[in-house]
Structure 1
């Protein structure tokens, strides 16, 4: 006689396990502990087996009968229900491991050894803030162009067009990685090229010769930390990227040979870079060493000495000096590079020499392999003449 909910509820545990049959091999085992367990007894190839469906009342009578029906259908096909359950669990685990977020984080771990720390933080931060909350938990095969378009439109709507473009590019790279590792069939982000309006690039403004004079006067009167003044002067003398100076360590400098060697892992292009140091730069570094020579960084953070100077320190100093901020000429710390590039070209130095000192990417990869320390003699002479030029930029004529 088929079971009823009332009979199941009213059956009390006894000293031995009891079976309440429902038909077709389905029964409820009532144990002395009070546990009530659904079981399905069946035969395949003449051998008797028992399939554990689940526990009552987590699985009620109606649900147990549905599961029993599925299990009987599998048995008719010669498939053990327990084997099928294991396969489903494995499939579910594989699907969980192949969500967009899981594949994205795997892609990051593969690529990040070639990235700068800043770029790694940038990629991770924007994916975590703008992408993972919306499509991160979806299996990567189910993420469509429509999903991604909604994500980048949301970013664009807050006025962050550049971030939207980067997110599309990163998403495309993630999908290409998924295709290469057989977890996706195509790149839906590729269809979104052109969906975001690329904002007009605003190049960093260089200082004119007159403005260099004004800067030199302003930095000489600056009332902030002396180390910040030295940092600004070194930015103008060496025209490295801001992050390269902020994160510089004393171990990278050979003041006796007037040379600064920046390791590849700190460079944007992931290639080591040599900066010949002028006499003026060496003098400033010797002075700086009296302030911070006992620490790892040239410019440690005053609040957190184990960390380097923050990214905003130099721009805030320029703002206080009247070169940055509202009503100013809009000059930021990145503008030192543009200043040197513009004026060194005016002074007649060869573009190849200037570009190599700026550590710009060499498009010709074969040529790039020969350029690591190329033009060193010219670069050293150029850096010294640049430092001499800075002492009086209004009086100097073009280099002959």
Structure 2
């Protein structure tokens, strides 16, 4: 058996040679002076060599321990060389990675197949609701009860849908950890039935015209930031998705045709498959009624010098959160009765009742493409004359006895806490 003294005294020779330690372990000394640990073994009668590292980075004791591990793998029926390659490929680190490290690796791998906004939302939800509680724990220390406790905190702020999405994301991280050799199980997989139940059906919406008038009156009477009130009015008039409206840049309204104003929303901002995001032919055209243009003109007097039509109340360089519109509806007394997305249901229900022959046109106004439509045949200008007419009809119905848009900027304002 070798000693440290023998290893240190070993000098390079004209040809490489070996210093044998025993049980297959030897030190390989190269003509240039390198000293490499190697383990010689056989698999099905074939001799193989396993590199264990360079001396002195790997000491004699460490080399012997590595040899013993290799022999254990052999006894278990595994080829030590293949085991080493698998560990290198998977990046296995004996479970030492924290949940946050795994989650960020998983997110980086998934990001190329997501649209930018969704990728940002996924990471933000983990940073806000998960990492502060279990981010610094290693996977083996996280139990189903721990995961459920994290999700309960999100459920308790009346965000049950968000909690469900969080569970899916946490589970995906654990699956990635299992696949890469840094987790043994997925504790998020078993908590689904222990979570708070979701209400069945569509998102809450007021779908009666008179009730809708009353809701808008009450909402516009609540002390609040006038720009948020205008956002809700434009949302009701156009029936676009709240997230799309909240992030609208002024550039989309700067060159409107005043005779036939149509808002062109780029495909990249629409709810589309990733492969359609850069396709200009899939831009969504939203006919703007006179009342909608009035809202745009009113809000321009407040936010027109910034990048966004509806900026954040505290940070003008950032877009409004769609939650701001939801909070205003809640304060007006419509919690669990109507959400910002509900204006799409309001529009669809009321207009289909009045114009049943125009069902396809109304669906197209909501950016609902028929499932049997050939994707390559998509035509953004389809039904445009009818859509322009229906948009004005809807505005006339919705804005009966409504105050001018400018008055929403002069009403009572909620004082923002700094």
Scaled by the length of structure 1, the TM-score of the pair is: 0.63
Within 1, Cα distance between the matches of 2:212 and 2:126?
Answer: 41
> In the superposition, relative to structure 1, how do residues 278 and 91 fare at CA in structure 2: closer, same or farther (>3 Å)?
same
Is 1:379–2:387 an aligned residue pair? yes
Q: CA deviation at 1:360?
A: 2.1
- Structure 1, gaps ≥5 residues long: 30-36, 43-48, 73-83, 139-146, 178-187, 395-400
Q: Quote the residue 2:120 is aligned against.
A: 121
Q: Quote the residue 1:331 is aligned against.
A: 338
Q: Quote the residue 2:32 is aligned against.
A: none
Q: Quote the residue 1:390 is aligned against.
A: 398
> In the superposition, relative to structure 1, how do residues 152 and 165 fare at CA in structure 2: closer, same or farther (>3 Å)?
farther
The structure with higher relative contact order (CA 8 Å, sep 6+) is 2
Within 2, Cα distance between the matches of 1:176 and 1:381?
Answer: 51
Cα deviation code 1:214-238 (max 9, x no counterpart): 2343355343332222112111111
Q: CA deviation at 1:70?
A: 8.9
> In the superposition, relative to structure 1, how do residues 54 and 70 fare at CA in structure 2: closer, same or farther (>3 Å)?
farther
Within 2, Cα distance between the matches of 1:213 and 1:41?
Answer: 82
* Aligned residues of 1:161 and 1:196 also touching (Cα < 8 A): no
* Aligned residues of 2:39 and 2:67 also touching (Cα < 8 A): no
Equivalences for 1:61-140 in 2 at 5 Å?
A: 61=61, 64-65=63-64, 90-96=85-91, 104-105=106-107, 107-113=109-115, 117=117, 119-124=118-123
* Aligned residues of 2:52 and 2:63 also touching (Cα < 8 A): no
Q: 150-159 vs 303-312, which deviates more?
A: 150-159
CA RMSD, aligned part only? 5.5
* Aligned residues of 2:37 and 2:63 also touching (Cα < 8 A): no
Q: Quote the residue 1:81 is aligned against.
A: none
* Aligned residues of 1:323 and 1:332 also touching (Cα < 8 A): no
Cα deviation code 1:237-270 (max 9, x no counterpart): 1111111111111111215241111111111125
* Aligned residues of 2:248 and 2:310 also touching (Cα < 8 A): yes
Within 2, Cα distance between the matches of 1:370 and 1:28?
Answer: 69
Equivalences for 1:306-345 in 2 at 5 Å?
A: 306-320=317-331, 322-325=332-335, 330-345=337-352
> What is the DSSP-based 3-state SS (H/G/I as helix, E as strand, rest coil) of the residue aligned with 2:329?
helix
> What is the DSSP-based 3-state SS (H/G/I as helix, E as strand, rest coil) of the residue aligned with 2:263?
strand
Cα deviation code 1:97-127 (max 9, x no counterpart): 89986884465233114xx61x323444567
Number of aligned residue pairs: give it.
Answer: 347
> What is the DSSP-based 3-state SS (H/G/I as helix, E as strand, rest coil) of the residue aligned with 2:333?
coil
Q: CA deviation at 1:362?
A: 2.5
> In the superposition, relative to structure 1, how do residues 58 and 363 fare at CA in structure 2: closer, same or farther (>3 Å)?
same
> In the superposition, relative to structure 1, how do residues 97 and 207 fare at CA in structure 2: closer, same or farther (>3 Å)?
same
* Aligned residues of 2:206 and 2:212 also touching (Cα < 8 A): no
* Aligned residues of 2:242 and 2:341 also touching (Cα < 8 A): yes
Within 1, Cα distance between the matches of 2:106 and 2:306?
Answer: 37
Q: Quote the residue 2:363 is aligned against.
A: 355
> In the superposition, relative to structure 1, how do residues 261 and 97 fare at CA in structure 2: closer, same or farther (>3 Å)?
farther
Q: CA deviation at 1:312?
A: 2.0
Equivalences for 1:21-100 in 2 at 5 Å?
A: 55=55, 59=59, 61=61, 64-65=63-64, 90-96=85-91
Within 1, Cα distance between the matches of 2:318 and 2:123?
Answer: 21
Equivalences for 1:238-387 in 2 at 5 Å?
A: 238-253=238-253, 254-256=256-258, 257-269=260-272, 271-320=282-331, 322-325=332-335, 330-349=337-356, 350-366=358-374, 369-387=377-395
* Aligned residues of 1:222 and 1:229 also touching (Cα < 8 A): no
* Aligned residues of 2:207 and 2:350 also touching (Cα < 8 A): no
Within 2, Cα distance between the matches of 1:283 and 1:67?
Answer: 76
Q: Quote the residue 1:182 is aligned against.
A: none
Q: CA deviation at 1:347?
A: 1.3
